[in-house]
Structure 1
C-alpha cells in the first residue's frame, strides 16, 4: 500500500508540474552540461602545474581554431573574458568569455569570432576595447607606459582597420621622432579621440588649445610640414 501511495504521489507531482517548471528544469540541465563542456575545454589547454591557460596553451588554442595567435580577434576574446594578465587565461575568465559568446566547443568558438569582431567595432564598444588593449599590455607591476615599438604594433593591430591613414602616419611619426621613448594611457586615448574628432588629412579643426597631449600637437605639426 505504501508503495502504491508513493507512486501515486510521484505521478501527481509530475502531472502538476507546470510547463514553466519543466522548461526551467530542462534549461538548468542544459546550462549545467554547457558549463561542464566549457570547463573540460579549459583543462584541455591549461597547464597542469599552474592551472592556467598559458602562452603555449593559447598558441595551441589558436592552432585548433586555425587563427594566428597575433590575430586581433584573440585580443578581442581576451577583452570579452576581461583577462587581466597578458598571455594567460584563468578558469573564471575562460568561463566568463565563453558563456558570453555562447561557445562550448572549438567549432563554436571559432564561429563566434566573426560576431565578436562586429561587436567590438561598434562605436559603443570600440573605445572600451581600445583602452583595454593598452592595459592588457602593461605586463609589469606599476607599469604606466609602453615602449614605442610595442605601441606601433598595438596601434596597427587594434585601430589600423578603422583609421588606416591616421594610424599609418602616426606610426611613421613615432618611429622617426626622438622626443618620446614610451606612450602613456593619456596619450594613447588622446590619439583615439583624435581619430574620431579631427578631419584627416586636412586637420582643419585641430586646435592645440583644446588640451591635446603634446605628442599630438607635435604629430600635427609634423604632418603639416610633410604636406607642405
Structure 2
C-alpha cells in the first residue's frame, strides 16, 4: 500500500487511502494483494495510476452517499481488528484513529465530544465493540 500511495502521490494517512482499500475490498488497510489490486482497478474502471487518480473525485462523491458511507464505515472497523487473533473489538486508540479517518470529510456535530469522552476515560473504556462502532453511526441519524 505504501508503494501504491507513493505512486499516487497520496499520503498513507489520507481519507483517499481508506477509499481505495474499500473499493479494492482489501482485507487490511495497510496491504493490497495483487488480486485485490486488479479487482479494485476493475471496480473503479481504471487501468493505470493516472486512471486511479482520475477516479478520486468520483470516489469522494460516492462516499458521501448514505448507503455507500455506511458500507465504508462498517468496513473501516474491520481494518483495526486482528482477525487472525479473533479480535472482536477495537483498542480505544485505534478506534479513535479510525473514526478520525472515516469522518475526515464530514464529521458529525457530536464528534469532538465523543472523542473527548473516549480520551478522558481510558480506564473505563479500553475497547470499542463492533456493536458500539455501528451504534455510533446509527445515533447520528
Larger Rg belongs to: 1
Question: Which of 190, 194, 202 is matched with 2:135 structurally?
Answer: 190
TM-score by length of 2: 0.91
Q: Residues 51-81 of structure 1: CA distance to partner in whole angstroms, max 9, x if unpaired?
A: xxxxxxx222212211101111111111111
Which range moved further: 104-113 or 85-94?
85-94
Higher relative contact order (CA 8 A, sep 6+): 2
Shift of 1:164: 4.1
Which residue does the alignment assign to 2:57?
Answer: 114
Taking structure 1 as reference, are residues 147 and 87 closer, same or farther at Cα in structure 2, changes over 3 Å only? same
Q: Which runs of 5+ in 1 are unaligned?
A: 1-57, 197-228
1:176 aligns with 2:120: yes
Aligned equivalents of 2:107 and 2:33: distance in 1? 33
Aligned equivalents of 2:110 and 2:104: distance in 1? 8
Shift of 1:89: 1.5
Q: Which has the larger share of helix?
A: 1
Q: Which runs of 5+ in 2 are unaligned?
A: none
Shift of 1:131: 0.3
Q: Residues 160-215 of structure 1: CA distance to partner in whole angstroms, max 9, x if unpaired?
A: 4323432211111100013110001100000001112xxxxxxxxxxxxxxxxxxx
Name the Cα RMSD after superposition: 1.4
Aligned equivalents of 1:85 and 1:145: distance in 2? 15
Q: Contact 1:83–1:93 (CA<8 Å) still a contact in 2?
A: yes
Equivalent residues in 2 for 1:103-142 (5 A)? 103-141=46-84, 142=86
TM-score by length of 1: 0.58
Aligned equivalents of 2:64 and 2:124: distance in 1? 32
